Amino acid sequence: MKVAVAKESFPDERRVALVPAAVKPLVKAGVEVVLEAGAGTSAGFTDEAYREAGATIATRDEVFAADCLLAVRTCGAGGSGWASDLCRLREGQILIGSCDPLSHPQACQEAADRGVTLFALELVPRITRAQSMDVLSSMANIAGYRAVLLAATALPRVVPMMTTAAGTITASKVLILGAGVAGLQAIATAKRLGGQVQAYDVRPAVKEQVQSLGAKFVELDLETGSSETAGGYAKAMGEDFYARQREQLGRIVAESDIVVSTAAIPGKAAPILVTRDAVSKMRAGSVVVDLAAERGGNCEATVPGETVVVDGVTIMGPTNLASDVPFHTSQLYARNISTYLLHLLKLGLPEIALEDEICRDTLVARGGQLVHSRVREAAGLPPIQAEPSQPATV
């Protein structure tokens, strides 16, 4: 099989789907690896390094002629670059990458219309044997770390407590909203910087994880028994719940110097946790970093992709923090996607092994149609009727 990586077409995306270290195990497995010239340059990986690892450097046309394409961003995650990539795809090609299938099912439908076999890495199941393929966790880890550094840089105060000859400086108060992978890394980073850290999550089960990192867990007077999905993600709640949540969180937000919000629900708009009124009550110079900005934001005043100042409070809405640290995020992503590809190859790719949970749960399009039940639902399509003795829709 010939596997190829093109230069990312998403605006300002600096990551690359494969790094030289990830090429070697693929070549060892008998895969012919081809990269577009300069594909890894922005992430710090030269064409020569890829050649030494066993890859071939080629033109974009040659890359898109491969049997299988690996991408960081494609379909709905590809933004304005998706249209130019789409017209190059052909029937029977395999496309693997981050696709944002639940928020942009129409882009996945476009890939299906071209006859592409599409796999979305965001849909990798949260099971033990798939942990090394979990791109969401890999990227969220870096985003949580980076968010705290951005906040600390923008804050007109120091983060740790300092005792000096001129007096004692008190530690800054840091509030982390959401204790998933990004939130836990943000907590750890804020603690390392010396902040006075507390965190809130709608899922009471994460309390121990928050406390194990040295942060205080914020408990609100809310009923949260059904707040977690079977996959471990936060579940969408009713508007009455969110209204009471915003009211109670507002008092804690107002006392914080830094707020990092990370609350996101797959395929849904991010819940508003920090109201415009809560921002107005924060001290001038305080900073909000909204990691849910790409989904609309957890802060009512967030402008996705921009930094704004509201009532003296700096509100940052980064939408692609992983791209700001492309060397290491590319390393992590490449490990995820190469491990995933090797798994599919062991199962007989290009044959599709629907009996395997990882393959089945990530398969979005095949044979000219969307085949993933959740993506079909998001696209407003009816379920596929399973044929006798055939597996049901994944």
Which residues have C-beta within 8 Å of that of residue 292, sequence separation ≥ 6?
A: 178, 261, 262, 263, 264, 270, 298, 302
134 is catalytic: yes
For the chain, count helices (H), then strands (E).
Answer: 13, 17
Of these residues, 51, 60, 88, 126, which one is catalytic? 126
100 is catalytic: no
244 is catalytic: no
Of these residues, 137, 227, 248, 373, which one is catalytic? 137
Of these residues, 131, 211, 212, 280, which one is catalytic? 131
137 is catalytic: yes
Measure Cα distances from 245 to 215, 240, 253, 255, 271 in Å: 20, 9, 12, 16, 10
Element (H, E) at 246: helix 239-254
Of these residues, 233, 242, 244, 277, which one is catalytic? 233
Q: Which long-range contacts (CB under 8 A, 24 or more apart) does 82-91 make?
A: 82/9, 82/107, 82/110, 84/9, 85/6, 85/9, 86/110, 86/111, 86/114, 88/60, 88/61, 88/64, 89/64, 89/114, 89/116, 90/114, 90/115, 90/116, 91/115, 91/116
12 is catalytic: no
Of these residues, 85, 134, 201, 361, which one is catalytic? 134
- In this structure, what token pair is assigned to residue 316? 């940052």
Measure Cα distances from 91 to 60, 73, 88, 366 in Å: 18, 20, 10, 10
Query: What positions carry a catalytic annotation?
Result: 126, 131, 134, 137, 233
